[in-house]
Amino acid sequence: MKSLGLLFCLAASFSLAGDLQLTLPPVVYATPDVQMSIYHDNIVLTEQPQDYRFEFTCKLGTNEARRWTITPTDGDVGDHPIAITVKDASGKVLEQGKTTLHVSPRQAGADKSLRLLIIGDSLTNATVYPNEIARLLATPGNPKFTLLGTHKPASAKPGIAHEGYGGWAWATFLTKFTPEDPGVTAGPLARKATSPFVFPAADGKAGVFDLNRYFAEHCDNQPPDVVTFLLGINDCFGADPNNPDVKINAVLDNADKLLAEFHKAAPKAILAVGLTTPPNARQEGFTANYKDKYPRWGWKRIQHRLVQRMLERLSNRESEGIHLVPTELNLDPVDGYPVNNGVHPNTTGYAQIGASFYSWIKSSL
């Protein structure tokens, strides 16, 4: 597979001196006939994005009230610079940044083979975005794909599998192990008790992380071509919003460990890390889930900083197989969420996550 390592050499846009902390990944991926958007609220740190003017300069796309959006055509294939300016109500420029829109050809990867392993937390466990990735990959002009994994929830469409579990974090996949219980030897309960990548040691009482064994037993003894990761919510949800870096640094250390293990066991695999998704724009979604313990603004500050730190720590590491996917941009924080959930999207929002991963996959082919 061919990757876009050159594009990742572009610097991400950080305006950390400004209160809004405009934060952009270096590349936004898109494909013909698949809508891709940058939601204003997802790129700045404010409780009132509607109080600011967001101006996008790009020969493609349309800037609307809450987002810049595009549904590319075949004639749009290629790279297109995007410049973003944020102004206050009076028109004063507050912050500026830039990124690149990369539109992949409709036929990218056609008839090739793609073995895809999807890893994540409850957003993956819901299986809506894995289903959407598979739906898009099944359209003409795509590779012959296989979804790997041991977890097949009831919501999974035929042929869909992954390793996504509610409440899990980067460290969970590295270490979670429970000695076998005669009453819980298989199925969902057993899977929740032990990471799919951790196996019993000789004494049966300790767990050993062993990706090669996982590939041998669950992947026809072949490593995946692409592994996607969408994690970070459970890792950082309880961080101090006023000083999240202590927790975030520890979380990214665990991310480094898991990514290094995958690169060691599958050196040719592309490891696609999704930037942690933004919250529901409504406080009532957080009130419904967490009462007053975890307000929306607290998680928004943590999530925004986590994205910044992921860009700092994981960019420009293609030699280690690591690539970033801007899953945080294309998720509508209003219409992509139900009114009563703070961090779990509705069907629309999950489909937007799937579109982001799909468009990145096309770029890697």
Q: How far apart are CA 17 and CA 93, in angstroms?
A: 13
pTM value > 0.75: yes
Q: Give residue 191's pLDDT.
A: 59
pLDDT tens digits, residue range 222-269? Answer: 999 999 999 999 999 999 999 999 999 999 999 999 999 999 999 999
- H helix intervals, the chain: 5-8, 122-125, 128-137, 170-175, 187-193, 211-218, 233-236, 245-265, 283-290, 296-314, 347-364
Q: Give residue 4's pLDDT.
A: 41
Class of domain 107-364: alpha beta
Strand order in the sheet with 67-70: 36-39, 67-70, 62-63
The torsion angles phi and psi of 327, rounded to 5 degrees, stand at -65, -15
DSSP H or E run through 207: strand 207-209
Residue 202's pLDDT band, with cuts at 50, 70 and 90, is: confident
Query: Which CB contacts under 8 angstroms, 24+ apart, belong to 73-80?
Result: 73/32, 73/33, 74/32, 74/105, 74/106, 76/30, 76/32, 76/103, 77/32, 77/103, 77/104, 77/105, 77/106, 78/102, 78/103, 79/7, 79/103
Q: Where are the domains of the chain?
A: 107-364
Q: What percent of the chain has pLDDT over 70?
A: 92
Q: Give residue 166's pLDDT.
A: 95
Q: How far apart are CA 15 and CA 21, in angstroms?
A: 5
DSSP string, 62-107: EE-SSEEEE---GGG-EEEEEEEEEE-TT--EEEEEEEEEEEPPTT
In the predicted structure, residue 176 carries a pLDDT above the cut 80: yes
In the predicted structure, residue 39 carries a pLDDT above the cut 80: yes
Q: Give residue 16's pLDDT.
A: 40
Residue 51: DSSP 8-state: G
Q: Please choose, from the candidates 131, 151, 134, 152, the residue with its C-alpha nearest in 3D space to the C-alpha of residue 143.
A: 134
Question: pLDDT averaged over the chain?
Answer: 93
pLDDT tens digits, residue range 106-153? Answer: 999 999 999 999 999 999 999 999 999 999 999 999 999 999 999 999
C-alpha torsion sign, points 331, 336, 338, 340: positive
- Are 266 and 211 contacting, i.e. CB atoms less than 8 angstroms apart? yes
- Are 38 and 68 contacting, i.e. CB atoms less than 8 angstroms apart? yes
Q: Write the CA distances from 87 to 46, 47, 59, 96, 227, integer angstroms.
A: 13, 15, 21, 9, 39
pLDDT tens digits, residue range 207-224? Answer: 999 999 999 999 999 999
User: Average pLDDT, stretch 10-21?
Assistant: 57
Q: Give residue 10's pLDDT.
A: 37
pLDDT tens digits, residue range 45-98? Answer: 999 999 999 999 999 999 999 999 999 999 999 999 999 999 999 999 999 999
Residue 318's pLDDT band, with cuts at 50, 70 and 90, is: very high
Q: Give residue 355's pLDDT.
A: 98
What's the full length of the chain, in residues?
Answer: 365
Q: Give residue 100's pLDDT.
A: 98
Query: Which CB contacts under 8 angstroms, 24+ apart, belong to 334-339?
Result: 334/66, 334/280, 334/281, 334/282, 337/280, 337/281, 337/282, 337/285, 338/280, 338/285, 339/282, 339/284, 339/285, 339/288
